[in-house]
Amino acid sequence: MPAWSSARRRLRRGRAEPEVLSFPVHPLRELRPPYHLMRAVWRRAFRSHRPSDLPFAEAVRGRTWACTDLGAFPRPLPEFPGVDGVVIMEDRDPRFFLSYRGYAPDAETGLNRHGPLRAWSTQQDLRVLVEQLRAQGIAVAIGCWNYGGWWVHRRPRWLRDHPELAHLPFSTQLTPFVRLRREGITYAEYIAQQYARLCGDFAFDGLMLGDGFCGFGGLWDPDLYRGQEAEVPRWTEFYRVVAAAVHLTRGVLLAYDLMGFPSAEAREHGVDYRALADAGLDILVYQSYPQAWGGFWLETYRSRFDLAANVANLGTVASALAGQPAQLFYTVELGDSVERWRAEADATREQMARLDPLAPGRFLVWANDLFARRGVLPAEGEAQTGAAVSRAGGR
């Protein structure tokens, strides 16, 4: 019997969530037109990706994990000194994590949407990469977002086969508290089951719950889902189910926080960080995006997402976790080749200087270009542009 079966029994005895699960109906705030998103989408359409030129030695300092995909890694694999762990992250429209059924060596994983390289792509490649990274003493976690599709593009097949995982209103976030009709289990139980299957085939060291797996929020309006305190027990039980499966494999459970909010505001959106730590969360990653959100996606709300707000908010999250074994990391901005927000190196240096004293660990987002440059000759590696890395890696 799986280790998370006790959590399942709690669900069925009515001690947590009801047997039939659905998103609770709460009055939403008056919806504002998302002019900030319109501007960001327009800018994105006319800009190319420009990698950060922050050197590896500056980004990797102290306890460091990195958000990557398979496109980050040259072949043969170079050394990544000082890196404690990497998350192979599948972001929006997760396909691999949700639909994985069993090891097929030659099957494409689709886990290289962001990085500049194409040296690792199949399931056999993934298995070898995990083995080689672990040989360097680097933990490897798999991760995905709880986002699926949008008005302008088609949902992945697995999500189309599970219409009960509907979008929240005015969001790409998927409804988390549902029972999957085909499988006859809750969504949380399915995620636990999928991690156990993937860990058995690829020897992962943990799981990261990405965007959409921590309370209710969104870029349309950060305050749209305020007033969800009643959902704290359900999110806490969600984490308890998933954590039990991860810990059964002696793995680590990581999760993004809710949009860099202060801890009290996160609770208003459905999550209590201290309760999540009690439920088994091992690493909480505070999302600090003064350039990505304050300067690009959420300009209308700049003062709530700039560096000064990050300093104030991160302090409240640290206080919420005080005395708990859960570790607190924060995101270091390096840029995003898909969303095309850019991270200026000097601004990232200021971010690290201000936030290092508040959290014991850094989480590099995204580290693909930074890692890809490790495959270039050391004498010129840190000076390589993204275009040079792409030519060297055969993108």
pLDDT for residue 377 is more than 90: no
The CA distance from 11 to 48, in Å, is 47
149-182 burial, b if ≥16 CB within 10 A, otherwise e? beeeeebbebbeebeebebbeebbbbbbbbbbee
Copy the structure tokens of residue 168.
Answer: 């929240």
**pLDDT mean over 353-361:** 97
Distance, first Cα to last Cα, the chain: 45
Residue 331: closest CA among 273, 269, 283: 283
- pLDDT category at 31 given cuts 50, 70, 90 is confident
- pLDDT category at 92 given cuts 50, 70, 90 is confident
Is the distance from CB of 253 to CB of 290 less than 8 angstroms? Answer: no
DSSP H stretches of helix in 150-231 = 157-160, 187-202
**Domain 5-23+32-393: CATH architecture, name and number where available:** Alpha-Beta Barrel (3.20)
In percent, the amount of the chain with pLDDT more than 90 equals 81
pLDDT tens sequence across 159-200: 999 999 988 888 889 999 999 999 999 999 999 999 999 999
Please report, for the chain, the start and end positions of each structural domain, with discontinuous segments joined by +. 5-23+32-393
Model pLDDT, residue 26: 52
The CA distance from 352 to 161, in Å, is 43
pLDDT tens sequence across 37-84: 999 999 999 999 999 999 999 999 999 999 999 999 999 999 999 999
369-379 burial, b if ≥16 CB within 10 A, otherwise e? bbbbbbbbeee
**pLDDT mean over 314-318:** 98
- pLDDT category at 28 given cuts 50, 70, 90 is low
pLDDT for residue 392 is more than 50: no
The CA distance from 386 to 65, in Å, is 22
Angle between helices 232-248 and 187-202 (to 10 degrees): 20
Model pLDDT, residue 25: 43
Sorted by sequence, the CB contacts under 8 Å of residue 288 that are 6+ apart come out as: 260, 307, 310, 314, 330, 331, 332, 333, 351, 355
DSSP H stretches of helix in the chain = 5-12, 35-45, 56-59, 96-99, 123-135, 157-160, 187-202, 232-248, 263-268, 273-279, 302-305, 307-321, 345-355, 368-372, 378-381, 386-393
**Average pLDDT score, the chain:** 89
**Residue 201 three-state SS:** helix
The CA distance from 297 to 381, in Å, is 31
The CA distance from 287 to 359, in Å, is 12
Model pLDDT, residue 171: 86
Residue 218: closest CA among 186, 177, 261: 261
The CA distance from 103 to 93, in Å, is 21
Is the distance from CB of 288 to CB of 260 less than 8 angstroms? Answer: yes
pLDDT for residue 1 is more than 50: no
pLDDT for residue 17 is more than 80: no
Indicate the helix (H) or strand (E) that contains 90.
strand 85-90
Model pLDDT, residue 151: 60
- pLDDT category at 276 given cuts 50, 70, 90 is very high
